[in-house]
Amino acid sequence: MKPSRRLVIAVALSLAACGGERAKIAPAAVPSGARLLVAVGGDSSQIEGLATWQGALYVADWKDGTVYRVDPLAPVPAAQAVGRLGTRRGQAILGVIADGQGNLYAAIPDSGVILRVPQARLGAADFDPARDVSVYATGVAGANGLAFGSGGVLWVTGGDHHALYTVPAGGGAAQVFAKDYSAVSTDTTMPVRVYTVNGVALDKAGRVYTANTGTGEITRFVVKPDGTAGEKTVFAHDPLLIGADGMVMDDQDRLWVSCNYRNALVRIDPSGALTELSASGPDGPLHFPAELKLVGGVAYLSNLNFPIGANSGTTDHRASIAVVAP
C-alpha cells in the first residue's frame, strides 16, 4: 500500500515528539556563512513554505495557520504575525509564494487547494480569514511546491501524489501536466521517500524542474507551446541531493536545492555540476530545511525541523528560518 501524506506527516511528528521567486533587490548585507536568522511562532509551531516580496520573508505556521512576516535585515529580526489562513489546527501548509504584487499563495495538501491572501490585507488590525482568504485553485491533490511561470501560470507539485500540475492565470481548476514519472526510493528507512514530485522551478527557457526527495533526482521537462509536456530528462541525480525539497532558480539559471534529509543546501549550475554550499549536523543551523528563497544571492531556508536523517538528535526543536550567504 502506498503511504499517504497524512501517514508520512504522522511518522515525522511522532519522531519529533521523541526528541520560484527570483531575487529582485540589491544584495543583502548578510555576513558570509550559515546561521539561524529567527525563530518563528512558539511551542509546536512548524513551518515549511517560504515566500519573499520586496525583501520581506513570509511563512505560515501549521500550528494555527498564522502568517508571519520577517525583515531579514532588521538589527534584531523578529517574526511578526500579519494574518491567518483559517486552516484547522495542525493542518499541513506546504508551499508558500508571492506574486509580483505581493499577494500570497499557500498550498494545502490534504484538501488539494491553493489559498490566496491579498498583500493589502496582511497586517490589517481587522484581518479576517473568512473574508480575506480565498481559494485560488482546486484539484491539486498533495499540493506542495509552487512556482509562477510564463503568463501567470502557477506550477504546483503533488508531492506524494507523484504529479505536477498547472493552474491557469487567475486561478481555477488545476490540470495534470505529468504524473508517475519519477520512481519512489527503495530505501524504506526514509519517511520522506514518497515525495517523488516535491520542489519546482523554471529556467529562462521556460523548462520546468522537479525534485524527487527520496532519490535525489532532479527531472527537467520541456514545455511545449501549447503548455503540454515535451521531452523529459534527468537533469541531476546525486547522493548530495538526497532529501531534495525546495528549489529556486537564480538569474544565472543555477538551481538551488534545499536537501531536508541531509540538512544541506546544494547549487547546480546549468551543466549539471553540483556545489554544496552548506551542510549541518543536528546542532544546526539547518534543521531539516524545506523551502528556500533567494534575496540578492543570499538564501533563506525554512527549518521544518523533523528529527530524522542528519537532523536526528537535534536539541533545537523550534520552527525557524536560516540564512546561507555563499
Q: What's the confidence (pLDDT) of residue 31?
A: 55
In sequence order, the β-bridge partners of residue 40 are 319
Tens digit of each residue's pLDDT (9 = 90 or more) over 43-96: 999 999 999 999 999 999 999 999 999 999 999 999 999 999 999 999 999 999
- Counting other chains too, the contacts that 177-180 makes at CB distance below 8 Å and 24 or more residues apart are 177/208, 177/221, 177/227, 177/228, 177/229, 178/221, 178/229, 178/232
Instruction: Report the half-sphere exposure of 48 (CA within 13 A, side-chain side).
Output: 27
C-alpha span between 215 and 78 (Å, rounded):
36
CATH number for the domain that contains residue 59? 2.120.10.30
Can you give the residue range of the structural domain that contains 294? 5-325
Number of domains in the chain: 1
User: What mean pLDDT is reported for the chain?
Assistant: 91
Write the pLDDT tens digit of every residue in 181-216. Answer: 999 999 999 999 999 999 999 999 999 999 999 999
pLDDT per residue as tens digits for the range 128-175:
999 999 999 999 999 999 999 999 999 999 999 999 999 999 999 999
pLDDT at 4 over 60: no
pLDDT at 86: 97
When comparing pLDDT for 21 and 233, which is higher? 233
Is pLDDT above 60 for 14? no
